[in-house]
Chain A
Amino acid sequence: MLDGSLAHPRPAALATVVGVVNGLTMVLSAWAIGWTTDHLVIPALAGREVSRATWWVAVGAILGVSTVRWTTIVLRGIASGRVQHAAQARTRRAVVRHYLDLDLGWHRRHSPGRLLSTAVSDVDAVWLPTAFLYFALGMVVMLVVAMVQLMTRDAALGAVGLTLVTSVLALNLLYQRALTPRAQAAQAARGDLGAAALESIDGGQVVRTLGLVDHEERRIGDAAGRLRAANVRMGDVSSLFDPMLELLPTGAILAVLAVGAGRVESGALTVGVVVEVVYLLLTVSIPLNVISRFLGMLPMSAAGGSRVAAVLESDNVTRFGARRLADEGPLDVRVVHAQVTRGSRVLLDDIDLHLAPGEIVALVGATGAGKSTVVDLVTRQIDPTSGVVRIGTPTTDGVDAVELAADQVASHIGLVAQDSWLFAGSLLDNLVLDGHPREARSYRDDEVEAALVAARADEVVRALPDGLDTIVGERGGRLSGGQRQRICLARTLLRGPRLLVLDDATSALDPAVERDVLDAIADLRGRTTVLVVGGRPSSVAIADRVVLLDRGRIVSSGTHAELMAAEPAYGRVLDAYGSAQHRV
């Protein structure tokens, strides 16, 4: 919180000053009431003459103190809020920008939902106490002044005041201690119920088909019952503590009257002072509650803070060098002795793979053979645990992918991933993104059209009433799977990559469409290096060479015919439909 104040010194300084002044006005307004009682109310109602000046002083004191008080309330609120929101925005920006820099491996280990809640709720929680910081600070000053003043007036009254302050604070701390675990339990129960309800409703079709309605009603009923119990446990605590905290000052006021009566009788105190103390105690519960609320927020803030720090301090950031890829033309990719392990599992075991410039290579293997890991390697989504990936051009030697500058991979290598992911904007925005990656210009209409035709996405666009201006919705949700896949293909083709990687990127297409798309890919032969991943016979047909992957190792490489002849495993993976058809 201190660094937040230092980062925004002007509103922080203002909030501190007006916070303290506001605290003092609470003491002053009690004093004004007491003075008015002694010098105006009692003498006037006892029939004694009261001077005009006294009237004016009384009214002026009450209104004057009040004016200072409400102005400082407004100023303190605005200044605190400015510090809070500015600090929030600063932290949040740092967190989300760090998300963009962290590598894919890190992202795969963290659920998007968790990251979202860190960027939104955790950052909020970190800075929430700031809203009460300056308020609480002023109240502490006020309490000190009030207690000192009480003590100097009368030790016994001071003792009553001190007892009140300590018991309210103690009670508040007890309250927080009792409430915090219960609030966390309620929060967890709420989360459980939400997850269970979402699952149950999302899976509604299954629930109905399998006749699980009663079972689900019981399951959700149990979760709702647990939330009810958690909320009630929380309510039970506040049911007792709230009225106690509210009524403690009343008790203190009664004590002041009992003690004060004797003092007034003996002439040690005036009635006005007793009224002043009563008035002060009546308002003292506000600062005490603010201070406890502030203290109560600190654990939550710290918890949020540690989650935010965990993100900001993680250094799984992809490192880049400064090398750039020269001239034009298809890329030359060499994966040399690459080993990839995750934990104790070996995903890729000593892989050697060469993609010659302009060559079309198909990578085939059963589910779990490690195809996607090879894709990650050649597109530099991950780096090999050992070994090296060299990326070169027809005329230059390969550069270790690790030494490439930050923008190089994205501007020279195109990937069409398994899941077709689109941004929420328009179709056109999704296609052009930031324009041509290497020539720093926007695309011409004919380039967009050509990419759409090659991906057979032109008919998708034509079928939509708004054409390229169609808003595709969150993650492209308004398009069907096949439509999304074609748009993703067009997006990558439009960028004119020098290495094109298709990771099972035609799975959602009808055979006829897939054939056209693969024909268009085949036309890139010689101009772009292409790696086609997936065990589909149609994609193998356009490949110059096929590489067979099995349990993390390359077991064979050659033309389709060679592999058919030499590798029974290859036939099994690839020819399933063919043999099925022969049997029918």
Chain B
Amino acid sequence: MSEHPPPGLADLGRSSARDVLARVRQTSPSIVTGLWLTVILAAVAGAGRIVTPLTVQQALDHGLLDTDADASSVVAHAVAVGAGATLAALVASWWLNRRVYRRLEQALAELRTAGVARVHRMAPETAATTRSADLVTRLTSDVDAVTTFAQNGGVVLLVNVMQMIIAGVIITAYSWQLALPVLALAVALTVAMTRIQSVVATRYLAVRESVSELQTTVGEAVAGIAVVRSTGTRARMAADLDAAVDRTAAAQRRTLVPLHVNTALGEIAISLMTVAVVVLGVRWSSGASGWEPSLGLTAGEVVSMLLLVTFFVRPLQSLVQMLGEAQNAVAGWRRALELVTAPGGTVGGEAHDLPSGPISVRLLDVSAGYGGPPVVHRLEVAIDSGEHIAVIGETGSGKSTFAKLVTRQIAPSRGVVLLGGVPIGDVSDRSLQRRVAIVPQDPFLFNVTIAENIVMGARSGSWDLDAIVESLGLGPWLDGLPDGLSTRVGVRGARLSAGERQLVALARTALVDPDLLVLDEATSGVDPATDVRLQRALSSLTAGRTTISIAHRMATAQGADRVLVFDGGRIVQDGAHDDLVTQPGVYARLHDAWTEHITAGA
């Protein structure tokens, strides 16, 4: 629980319960309004449950054991009162449960929605560095833990507490001397159970870890089945799987003893309390001697106390057993809050919109990296508005880092990046969102149709899907698909090949009509013929906007106004293709390799 959240989220790990509660009150006000009604309902529900022992006592003392009384009418009266109380408890419980469920779920739904909105409004550099799985967990299973807790008894927590308090008070009212051993045993039980519960929690944690390890191993086996088969490593994989299965079973076995000892402790406590009430209650009320107090309890009161002991211990038991789930629920809520109350995007009131028209880009003495040593060193770049720049270099030369810098996915560790003359950190989210577009090497598609994925980018209703498809030359490809534009792409576009996903992403971006377009290896996965067609189509797409194309294919560079050559995180060459190709250097070397590549065998 003390682990720190990823950077960019609020760190509530060390906040006091009061602080977390204050944030809950602020994010979900409905949860605390009308608290008084909740407490009254819980009191009625708790008290109504305890009416049984009192009815028994009344029936015994004033009816069945009282030779003078008209037993039947006394008992009938007591039973009528008991029935009324039980009915009141039923109605109060029903009302209370509904109320708590509704308010809780309302708060949780708001929490989830606010969380997703928060993620999308995060500074891009935070969003890019935080694992999405972690963020999703904070909005799904972490919040689910609260629902699970509520459904498994959290809702009646308040009623249980009330019942326990009322039972304790009645026992004490019958006889405080007799209440002492009962309460002492209750304290001992609570201490013992809490201790064992923490052992149970630790061992369950081990179970969860072993299950997650099991999931990883099984996941590896099914996702990598082709490799397992082609490399003939079935035996090795089977041994890993067996080991993971056995570790899970062993971890589960280790929970059994503390878990069931804990259940048994309640029984032990109840029987010891029963014996204490019988022996001391009867002895001190019938023939106390010496130091012993004289209680004067009736038979009905002793029997009633025997029953009350159960009413006192059962809720205590379930409270302690709920402890673990309560901790999960609190931790889950806290983790969700860390996201929802995360500090907002980079800029507040001083956000600047980008000037209209194609956007110029300047990097002044910029270094940047991913926590470790810088990946790009002291870059000086000036790109005029409307210019088409190609960025060339080997894998790991810093090209992609450059792309991330100019789209604000990482912040420079030194120097400044200017977009349209505005420091990139001061650019408003709104204008960055619609006017700067990046098409990455592995673009993300939503699990809808190809057409829906493309029109997502449309700014207004005035778009022509067919024209876009036509201008990018996608017709033949779409004709080859069984459902054409209506083909569903699957989760993350998995039903399309990497190259096909890139085609959809390009079409989508064409509709966005950005003023700064960054293509990060955006056509690396398409086959050469399609790529050439695309490059030609892209030249119409890049007209009228600033374009930065990052590629390891030289074809891209030849169509650009200017080429930046990256090597080892620095820009080593800068010039037009025709000039660079004649100079000895990195570019000429890459170009030679490329020429050999495409003319091979000719």
Would you call B598 an interface residue if the criterion is a C-beta within 8 Å of the partner chain's C-beta atoms? yes
Which residues of A sit under 8 angstroms from B528, Cβ to Cβ?
535-537, 573-574, 576-577
The stretch that binds A, out of B19-27, B57-65, B179-187, is: B57-65
Would you call B127 an interface residue if the criterion is a C-beta within 8 Å of the partner chain's C-beta atoms? yes
Tell me the bound Cα distance from A577 to B557 in angstroms: 13
Which residues of A sit under 8 angstroms from B216, Cβ to Cβ?
424, 474
Contact between chains at A45 and B120 (CB < 8 Å): no
Name the CB-closest residue of B to A263: B64
Tell me the bound Cα distance from A271 to B298 in angstroms: 14
**A488, chain B: closest CB distance, angstroms:** 8
Tell me the bound Cα distance from A207 to B394 in angstroms: 30
Contact between chains at A258 and B102 (CB < 8 Å): no
Q: Given A81-B253, A225-B109, A512-B593, does the pair A210, B456 have CB atoms closer than 8 Å? A: yes
Which residues of A sit under 8 angstroms from B86, Cβ to Cβ?
247, 250-251, 254
Which residues of A sit under 8 angstroms from B555, Cβ to Cβ?
577, 580-581
Interface of B is mostly: helix
Tell me the bound Cα distance from A342 to B592 in angstroms: 44
The stretch that binds A, out of B8-16, B244-252, B375-383, is: B244-252
Tell me the bound Cα distance from A224 to B110 in angstroms: 8
Would you call B426 an interface residue if the criterion is a C-beta within 8 Å of the partner chain's C-beta atoms? no
Q: Interface readout for A87-127 with B: 1 if CB under 8 Å, 0 if not?
A: 01100110011011000100100001001100110000000
Contact of A63 among B124, B221, B234, B275 (CB under 8 A): B275
Contact between chains at A254 and B246 (CB < 8 Å): no
Q: Interface readout for B490-525 with A: 1 if CB under 8 Å, 0 if not?
A: 011000010110000000110010100000000011
Would you call B465 an interface residue if the criterion is a C-beta within 8 Å of the partner chain's C-beta atoms? no
Given contacts A74-B257, A417-B226, A463-B396, 14 further A-B contacts (CB under 8 A): A33-B274, A47-B286, A70-B271, A81-B255, A209-B438, A225-B109, A235-B97, A257-B55, A381-B230, A511-B554, A537-B598, A576-B528, A578-B599, A580-B532
Kindly count the residue-residue contacts between A and B in the assembled complex, taking CB atoms under 8 Å apart. 473
Q: Interface readout for B523-550 with A: 1 if CB under 8 Å, 0 if not?
A: 0110111111001000000000000000
Residue among B76, B93, B259, B492 with max Cβ neighbours from chain A (10 Å):
B93
Tell me the bound Cα distance from A399 to B596 in angstroms: 40
Contact between chains at A201 and B119 (CB < 8 Å): yes
Give residues of chain A (367-390) contacting chain B, Cβ–Cβ below 8 Å. Answer: 367-368, 379, 381
The stretch that binds A, out of B321-329, B363-371, B441-449, is: B441-449
22 A-B pairs with C-beta separation under 8 A? A29-B271, A41-B303, A45-B302, A82-B253, A89-B245, A99-B222, A104-B225, A199-B491, A205-B440, A206-B508, A209-B434, A211-B433, A213-B120, A216-B120, A247-B49, A250-B52, A258-B75, A278-B52, A366-B529, A367-B530, A379-B230, A483-B395
Tell me the bound Cα distance from A362 to B312 in angstroms: 81
Contact between chains at B229 and A410 (CB < 8 Å): yes
Contact between chains at A203 and B267 (CB < 8 Å): no
Question: Can you list the 6 inter-chain pairs with the closest CB atoms, starting with the nearest?
Answer: A410-B232, A77-B260, A541-B600, A235-B101, A66-B271, A239-B97
Tell me the bound Cα distance from A543 to B601 in angstroms: 9
Please report the total number of A residues contacting B with Cβ < 8 Å: 163
Contact between chains at A515 and B593 (CB < 8 Å): yes
The stretch that binds B, out of A160-168, A190-198, A329-337, A348-356, is: A190-198
Q: Given A37-B299, A77-B256, A200-B120, does the pair A112, B601 have CB atoms closer than 8 Å? A: no
Contact between chains at A261 and B600 (CB < 8 Å): no
The stretch that binds B, out of A169-177, A226-234, A442-450, is: A226-234
Q: Given A99-B221, A210-B457, A228-B109, does the pair A561, B275 have CB atoms closer than 8 Å? A: no
Would you call A510 an interface residue if the criterion is a C-beta within 8 Å of the partner chain's C-beta atoms? yes
**B104, chain A: closest CB distance, angstroms:** 8
Contact of A198 among B98, B113, B132, B445 (CB under 8 A): B132
**A186, chain B: closest CB distance, angstroms:** 8
Contact between chains at B396 and A242 (CB < 8 Å): no
**B141, chain A: closest CB distance, angstroms:** 8
Would you call A246 an interface residue if the criterion is a C-beta within 8 Å of the partner chain's C-beta atoms? yes
Would you call A469 an interface residue if the criterion is a C-beta within 8 Å of the partner chain's C-beta atoms? no
Would you call B30 an interface residue if the criterion is a C-beta within 8 Å of the partner chain's C-beta atoms? no
Tell me the bound Cα distance from A551 to B28 in angstroms: 60
Contact of A242 among B116, B156, B232, B444 (CB under 8 A): B156
Tell me the bound Cα distance from A514 to B264 in angstroms: 69
Contact between chains at B307 and A278 (CB < 8 Å): yes
Would you call A433 an interface residue if the criterion is a C-beta within 8 Å of the partner chain's C-beta atoms? yes
Would you call A13 an interface residue if the criterion is a C-beta within 8 Å of the partner chain's C-beta atoms? no
Which residues of A sit under 8 angstroms from B242, Cβ to Cβ?
93
Contact between chains at B279 and A193 (CB < 8 Å): no
**A61, chain B: closest CB distance, angstroms:** 10
Residue among B147, B155, B553, B597 with max Cβ neighbours from chain A (10 Å):
B597
Contact between chains at A243 and B233 (CB < 8 Å): no
Would you call A58 an interface residue if the criterion is a C-beta within 8 Å of the partner chain's C-beta atoms? yes
Give residues of chain B (99-148) contacting chain A, Cβ–Cβ below 8 Å. Answer: 101-102, 105-106, 108-110, 112-113, 116-117, 119-121, 124, 127-128, 132-133, 135-136, 139-141, 144, 147
Q: Interface readout for A393-416 with B: 1 if CB under 8 Å, 0 if not?
A: 000000000000001011101110
Which residues of A sit under 8 angstroms from B119, Cβ to Cβ?
200-201, 204
Contact between chains at A104 and B226 (CB < 8 Å): yes
Contact between chains at A197 and B136 (CB < 8 Å): yes
Q: Given A66-B267, A216-B116, A247-B90, does the pair A433, B532 have CB atoms closer than 8 Å? A: no
Q: Given A59-B279, A100-B238, A381-B229, does the pair A537, B600 have CB atoms closer than 8 Å? A: yes
Tell me the bound Cα distance from A433 to B394 in angstroms: 30
**B109, chain A: closest CB distance, angstroms:** 4
Residue among A46, A231, A232, A508 with max Cβ neighbours from chain B (10 Å):
A231
Would you call A21 an interface residue if the criterion is a C-beta within 8 Å of the partner chain's C-beta atoms? no
**A279, chain B: closest CB distance, angstroms:** 7
**B394, chain A: closest CB distance, angstroms:** 5
Tell me the bound Cα distance from A424 to B445 in angstroms: 27
Contact of A217 among B120, B237, B430, B438 (CB under 8 A): B120
Contact of A515 among B102, B231, B596 (CB under 8 A): B596
**B215, chain A: closest CB distance, angstroms:** 6
Would you call A212 an interface residue if the criterion is a C-beta within 8 Å of the partner chain's C-beta atoms? yes
Tell me the bound Cα distance from A262 to B48 in angstroms: 26
Q: Given A581-B598, A584-B558, does the pair A206, B443 have CB atoms closer than 8 Å? A: yes
**A88, chain B: closest CB distance, angstroms:** 7
Contact between chains at A220 and B492 (CB < 8 Å): no
Q: Interface readout for A405-447 with B: 1 if CB under 8 Å, 0 if not?
A: 0010111011101000101100000000110010000000000
Name the CB-closest residue of A to B98: A239
**B88, chain A: closest CB distance, angstroms:** 10
**B341, chain A: closest CB distance, angstroms:** 17
**A150, chain B: closest CB distance, angstroms:** 18
Tell me the bound Cα distance from A417 to B109 in angstroms: 44
Which residues of B sit under 8 angstroms from A74, Cβ to Cβ?
257, 260-261, 263-264
**B250, chain A: closest CB distance, angstroms:** 9
